[in-house]
Every structure is written in C-alpha cells, then in structure tokens.
Amino acid sequence: MSGAFQSTPHIERSEVELSIVVPFYNEELNIDWFFERIEAVLAPLNVAYEVVCVNDGSRDQTVSFLIAHHHRNPAIKVVDFSRNFGKEVAITAGMDYTVGNAVVVMDADLQDPPELIHELLAKWREGFDVVYAVRRSRQGETWLKRFTAYSFYRVIGRVSNTPIPRDTGDFRLLDRRVVEVLKQIPERTRFMKGLFAWVGFRQTAVEYDRAPRYQGRSTWNYWKLWNFALDGIFSFSLVPLKLWGYLGLMISLITLMYAGFLVVRTLLFGVDVPGYASLMVAVLSLGGVQLMTLGILGEYLGRVYEEVKGRPLYLVRNAYGFSNYPAVSMSTPSSRN
C-alpha cells in the first residue's frame, strides 16, 4: 500500500441516499422496537435507504430476528460475523458494506434516538461532510460511568494531536467521501471516534439527550472501558511514550547536582556511612519508574505487533441482502481498498 491516499476517490452518486449502520451484540430484546422506531423515522423522509445490521457474534437470537426483518423489508440488510469482533470492527464492516450517499452510524439499544436523523440529514444537506451528535445529557447511567467518561474525554483531549470532540459517541452522519477515506485506513486498532475526527473535512455537531438503554444490559464493563480508553490514547497520542524521556532528563539533572554536592561534601567532611534510607528510596522508585516505562513501551509494541500480523479485520459468515458481495467474504486491508 502506498503511503498517501489517492485523495478522495471519484464518487458517483448512488441510488441509495441514506445508509444506516448498526452493530448488534445480544440485542434480541431491542430489535423489534428498534426497527419500528427507525422505520417510522425513515418512511416519511421519502428517500431510498438501507439499514446495514452487523451481527457481532451474538449468542442469542439476534441473527435470526435480523434475518426475519430482512425478509419483511429488503432494505434491512444483514452482515453476520463469524464471531464477536467488537463494536469498532462491526461499525467498520457495516460501513464497508454500505452504498448510500450519506451513512449514519448508531447503536441498536435506542440510546441514540432515531428521530435525530432528521437533523443530521438537514446539516448534511447544508454541505457538511461529518455531522456528529453530542450528548447534552446522559440518562440512566451511573455517576461512576459519567465520571470516567468525562475524565477520559478530558485526558485524551489533552494528549491527542487530533482534537476529539467531547461527549460524542459513534452516533453520527458521514458523507460518502468520508466513508471512502475511512475504508482506506488499514489500522487494526480502530478507535472510531478518533478516526472520525482525524479525517477532517467539514464537520459540525448537533446536540441531543442520550436516552437510557431500552432493554438488556451494556456489555461494557469497566475493564473493557479501560482498555478502550487505552486504545484511544495509545493510537492517537505519543505523549505516554515521550513522557519518560523528559522524566529521565529531569532525574539525570537532579542526580548530577546531587552527585556534585556529595563529592564536595566528601572532600570537605570525609566519608560518612549512613544513607540507607535515601539509597533504598532512590533504587526502589527508579525501579518502579523503569518498569512502568517498559510497560508503556510494551503497550505500543503490542499494537505494532497487531498491525504487522496483518490478519483480516473481520470474518463474515454470511451476508443477506447485498448483491455484489460473496456470501462468505474475508476482509483484509488491501482487498478492502
């Protein structure tokens, strides 16, 4: 793959105006109500649409429910993964399969109100390429979740070179040209909110109140969220890597001064043996800092390893409703271009 993208590829207008991408993981309780609400929003719009549903290896009835909806309404299309690949990858796959001129990404649990699609479309028609939905409020979430989310957006805002909009989930509208650019990004660690911001183009925001989950439970526990946050920070910032260089420099300078002081003191007053405490503190704290540095190096190295292996991003077991895709397909970065 060459280093630079061939800018935005030439894009022909598609017959499908609007594509909706929805990742589904164990969402059987939400499916019927989800389609009822989304179809109520889409029908009066009078545009050709498609809803690309990605079943991310659900262990419940999700996929058979989705297929039933596909038979009822062929505009509902289903990509069935071979296993659970995670939400970020599911969104990526969904976008790969879309053909619409505008693509909206949203959750299946109705936390992203389908009614907002009107506003997203209106902004897009004004000429914006990316319209993201910013949460004015979050309902039905614990203070701990809100606090950790709040802190995360502030930390990543400070360390990342790409400004990542605060309090913004994946709920947004993308113009076809942005989707084509995203499809060319071969990164495995797909921190989508970062990538959405990284591409640039003309972006704008609309505000909304985030509803509580309709049914079922969020599958994101704090350990998953922590790792998600690390993915975000390590793929969009080198600050954790560079920090230790500066810390080392500072410690070296202090040590040098202290060494000078010791030499002078020894020359003037001779040797005195005690100093066990200061010695232990210095050895232990430096040991700790060095291990931490190694850990950070490991985080980056592990991600480099993931990229280098070049495994396909996702495997599709079956796809329903797509004319020009094989039933069983494998996605690799080069074949996705």
Binding site for ligand UDP (CB under 6 A): 23-25, 27, 56, 84, 86-87, 90, 107-109, 111, 213, 218-220
Pairing of the two strands 130-138 and 168-175: antiparallel
- Residue in 92, 111, 160, 329 binding Mg ion, rule: CB under 5 A: 111
- 26 part of the interface to Mg ion, by CB under 5 A: no
Which helix (H) or strand (E) element contains residue 105? strand 102-105
- 30 part of the interface to Mg ion, by CB under 5 A: no
Q: Could you tell me which stretch among 52-60, 109-117, 148-156, 171-179 binds Mg ion (CB under 5 A)?
A: 109-117
- 109 part of the interface to Mg ion, by CB under 5 A: yes
Q: Could you tell me which stretch among 103-111, 131-139, 155-163, 314-322 binds Mg ion (CB under 5 A)?
A: 103-111
Q: Which is nearer to ligand UDP, 24 or 124 (CB)?
A: 24
Q: Could you tell me which stretch among 17-25, 107-115, 178-186, 327-335 binds Mg ion (CB under 5 A)?
A: 107-115
CA 300 to chain centre: 17
CA distance 250 to 257: 11
Binding pattern to Mg ion, positions 211-240, x when CB under 5 A? --x---------------------------
Q: Which is nearer to ligand UDP, 140 or 200 (CB)?
A: 140
At a CB cut-off of 8 Å and minimum separation 6, what does 280 contact? none
Shortest spacing between CB 115 and Mg ion, in angstroms: 17
Q: The tokens of 328 are what? A: 């069983």
Q: The tokens of 119 are what? A: 């506003």
Question: Sheet harboring 18-24: ordered strands across?
Answer: 203-210, 130-138, 168-175, 102-105, 18-24, 49-55, 76-81, 314-320, 329-331
CA distance 101 to 103: 7
**Interface residue list for Mg ion (CB under 5 A):** 109, 111, 213
